[in-house]
Amino acid sequence: MTLTTDPTTLDELHTRASNIRRRIVDICANPQGGHLGGSLSLVEVLTALYFDVMRVDPALPADPDRDIFLLSKGHAAIGLYCTLAERGYFDAEELAHYAETGSRLMGHPTRDVPGVEMPTGSLGHGPALALGFALAAKLSGSPRKTYVALGDGEMQEGSVWEAAMGAVGLRLDNLVAVVDRNGLQLTGDTEEICPVEPVAARWRSFGWAVREVPGQDVARVREALASAPWEPGCPSVLVARTTKGAGVPFVAGKPNSHYVAFGERQHARALSALRRAAEQGRAPRRTDAAGGGADD
Ligand SMILES: [Mg+2]
């Protein structure tokens, strides 16, 4: 079978992103909570990939020529699960059983979940795995592209840069990385813990083609990802300037958005904010956030 991309209108992308965000918030209202902030910041990237850019078919999850997505920042599993359910890989009702005993929807993704390509979450491993997928495609003559999303704090892992060097040496222009540049990691601001700036210049110095976009702007994210590779023979990295917790104003841009178990009132407040944004037909804006950049 020949996989094709499924062109999607911008309105539909906004609707999908809104649905995914609501599902993430619902999961975090379960007693065990979940990794809210880094899932919400990645919503527009996941939406653009799964609903427009990637050549995938939920009915044929093992098609050898499908595009590959790896969530290197595997702790954002609920963002991936909600996207896969929204895309039709499995029934969305299963999301209500996240992290329950016996559920395949665990805190980090495993291949028991339809659509998940590799178990991830040991930070720094995703780029090397992605390099392997991309190299295999080149060697076998497959048109597949490989996409990998990593956190900005994850750039502090040395193994990221081993893969970055290797991908350039192997001229893997079928490899696209996305850095979720939300400015925060588990315990605070990346620049206070171990600076990663200048993010774009670091990747460029390793030989990657680099673009930066406001990461909550699904149109800009889609345009960038759909047009990769940006330089022949070079792997591409999109620096998505996002807001951790985007869409939920009382946690957006705050370190405590990292892991959240909403109480009943907080859950209602969060859903209300998402509903207002959806009614206004807009993505999360900077005014929704206490901090975090969303500009180029
Ligand atoms: Mg981060």
Q: Where are the domains of the chain?
A: 10-288
Distance 33 CA to ligand 1 centre (A): 18
For residue 207, CA distances in Å to 73, 94, 204, 235 come to 23, 42, 5, 8
For 197, half-sphere exposure in the C-beta direction (CA atoms, 13 angstrom radius) is 10
Distance 144 CA to ligand 1 centre (A): 28
pLDDT at residue 285 in the model: 59
Task: Please give all residues whose CB falls under 5 A of ion ligand 1, grouped by chain where several chains appear.
Answer: 151-153, 182, 184
Distance 153 CA to ligand 1 centre (A): 5
Distance 181 CA to ligand 1 centre (A): 6
Burial pattern 240-255, b for ≥16 Cβ within 10 A else e, equals bbbbbbbbbbebbbbb
* Segment 267-281, tens digit of pLDDT: 999 999 999 998 887
For residue 34, CA distances in Å to 24, 226, 290 come to 9, 30, 21
SS3 for 214? strand
Distance 128 CA to ligand 1 centre (A): 19
pLDDT at residue 289 in the model: 41
pLDDT at residue 279 in the model: 87
Number of H helices, E strands in the chain: 10, 7
pLDDT at residue 283 in the model: 67
Distance 140 CA to ligand 1 centre (A): 35
pLDDT at residue 287 in the model: 44
Distance 126 CA to ligand 1 centre (A): 15
Per CATH, the number for 10-288 is 3.40.50.970
Distance 188 CA to ligand 1 centre (A): 9
Distance 38 CA to ligand 1 centre (A): 6
Rounded to whole angstroms, the Cα distance separating 242 from 179 reads: 10
Asked if residues 176 and 164 have their Cβ atoms less than 8 Å apart, the reply is no
Distance 242 CA to ligand 1 centre (A): 9
Task: Please identify every stretch of the chain with a pLDDT value under 70, giving residue numbers as ranges.
Answer: 1-7, 282-283, 285-296
Distance 143 CA to ligand 1 centre (A): 31
Mean pLDDT of all residues belonging to the chain: 93
Rounded to whole angstroms, the Cα distance separating 110 from 53 reads: 23
Distance 139 CA to ligand 1 centre (A): 34
**Bond preceding residue 235 cis, omega within 30 of 0:** no
Distance 245 CA to ligand 1 centre (A): 10
Distance 116 CA to ligand 1 centre (A): 21
pLDDT at residue 290 in the model: 36
